[in-house]
Structure formats: structure tokens, C-alpha cells
């Protein structure tokens, strides 16, 4: 069911003790795009999936960009704050623990921004094809937060050194980071699904009861 708080979103209740997932779609996606992935990699987890509030040529995004790989950082900071507020609303409305973000492309970038700017919002993150979201990022305390980053060796959008810089930054901030480079491009592959599913079992403990 799609419902409204401050973001149009989809919500699926969980079954059992699995930590909830905050699903963040890529450019042109919607609140339903990543629901099948969430179900596949974290069976039984509650799924919270907002729709980005920025339109680029009619395609939803989570923040504005000035060009390919060039972000409007003022807008990014504001939108990250808005998303953090939505997560707080949804946790109160649905009785959720702090979620683990699972974001693809633009969604991975806003998830990385949440980790850096509002670290208390997330329990950790899976970042699929992310880029460094900020030119001068802060270094928050991310100790105890697990992060999986999956990059594509053939990705024409994300430079390898950019993704590596993000992984290094998160690691310096104390996150437990696993960064894998898969033999694929910017799109998601079955290898992504398999690795995320395995990582969820290894690194994502159930939410406290």
C-alpha cells in the first residue's frame, strides 16, 4: 500500500525480528522499484520505500544535480534533512527500529549523505553504485554501523577513484565497510542480489526486541 507522510511512500510490515530496510530508488524510479529486491535480500524485514521529491525531466530523484556526476550540494543537504525527518515520522507511525538503508545510484548517494550528515538515522547501509555525495564531507562517528558498497568495474557513470574515496571516508569515520567491485556496469546484476543477501545474513543483526 502506498501512503503519505512527508514523502509519498510504500510500506510493507515485517514478520519477525529482521531490521527494517529503507529502500531508496535510482533516478526515474518510484516507491515500488526496490520492493522486490528488499524482499529477496531480507525476507521478513519491514520495507519502507519513499519516492524522491525532485523531478528531473519528469523522473523522480532524491536531490538536484547540475550535470552528470555534479551535485547541487545545498539541495542535497536540505533533501537529506527532509529524508531524515521522514524516517523519524515513519518510525513513529509504524513502530520501527532505526532502518538499514538500501539505495541504488541516486538512492545510494542520498543514503551516503544520510550517513555523513545524519548518522543517527540509519543502522547501516547497502550502497549500490554510490558516489561521494559531498565535496567537503564531515567525518561523523559511524562506529558499529556496517556498510556494504558494490561498484561496477564497467560503470561509465561512477569513477573508480570516486567510489574508493567514499569507502575510505566511511572507514575513517569508523564504519565497518566492505567494498566490492563487480564485473558489471551501472545497472544491477544477479551478483549484486546474491552478495547483498549474503551480507544481510552476516552483517545485519536483527533489531532489538
In the chain, the number of structural domains is 1
Over residues 93-146, the pLDDT tens digits come to: 999 999 999 999 999 999 999 999 999 999 999 999 999 999 999 989 999 899
pLDDT band at residue 2 under the 50/70/90 scheme: low
Whether 142 maps to a domain, the answer reads yes
Answer yes or no: is pLDDT of 65 > 70: yes
Three-state SS at 48:
strand
Whether 119 maps to a domain, the answer reads yes
Answer yes or no: is pLDDT of 205 > 70: no
Q: How far is CA 3 from CA 7, 45, 71, 84, 107, in A?
A: 8, 18, 29, 17, 20
Element housing 50 (H / E): strand 47-50
Buried b (16+ CB within 10 A) or exposed e, 166-192: bbebbeebebebbbeebebebebeeeb
Whether 123 maps to a domain, the answer reads yes
Whether 209 maps to a domain, the answer reads no
Answer yes or no: is pLDDT of 69 > 90: no
Q: In CATH, what number is assigned to the domain containing residue 149?
A: 3.40.50.1820
Domain containing 43: what range? 2-203
**What average pLDDT does the structure give for the chain?**
93
Whether 104 maps to a domain, the answer reads yes
Whether 208 maps to a domain, the answer reads no
Which residue numbers are catalytic?
105, 155, 186
Whether 15 maps to a domain, the answer reads yes
Amino acid at each position: 500500500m502506498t501512503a503519505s507522510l512527508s514523502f509519498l511512500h510504500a510500506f510493507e510490515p515485517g514478520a519477525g525480528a529482521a531490521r527494517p530496510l529503507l529502500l531508496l530508488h535510482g533516478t526515474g524510479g518510484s516507491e515500488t522499484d526496490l520492493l522486490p529486491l528488499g524482499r529477496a535480500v531480507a525476507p521478513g524485514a519491514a520495507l519502507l520505500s519513499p519516492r524522491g521529491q525532485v523531478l528531473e525531466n519528469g523522473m523522480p530523484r532524491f536531490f538536484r544535480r547540475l550535470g552528470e556526476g555534479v551535485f547541487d550540494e545545498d539541495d542535497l543537504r536540505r533533501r537529506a534533512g527532509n529524508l531524515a525527518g521522514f524516517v523519524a515520522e515513519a518510525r513513529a507511525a509504524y513502530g520501527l527500529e532505526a532502518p538499514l538503508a538500501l539505495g541504488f545510484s541516486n538512492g545510494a548517494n542520498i543514503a551516503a549523505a544520510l550517513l555523513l550528515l545524519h548518522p543517527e538515522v540509519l543502522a547501516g547501509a547497502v550502497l549500490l553504485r554510490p558516489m561521494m555525495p559531498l565535496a567537503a564531507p564531515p567525518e561523523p562517528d559511524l562506529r558499529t554501523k556496517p556498510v556494504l558498497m558494490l561498484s561496477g568495474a564497467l560503470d561509465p557513470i561512477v569513477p573508480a577513484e570516486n567510489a574508493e574515496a567514499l569507502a575510505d571516508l566511511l572507514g575513517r569515520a569508523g564504519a565497518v565497510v566492505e567494498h566490492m567491485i563487480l564485473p558489471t556496469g551501472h545497472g544491477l546484476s544477479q551478483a549484486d542480489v546474491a552478495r547483498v543477501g549474503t551480507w544481510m545474513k552476516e552483517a545485519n543483526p536483527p533489531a532489538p526486541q
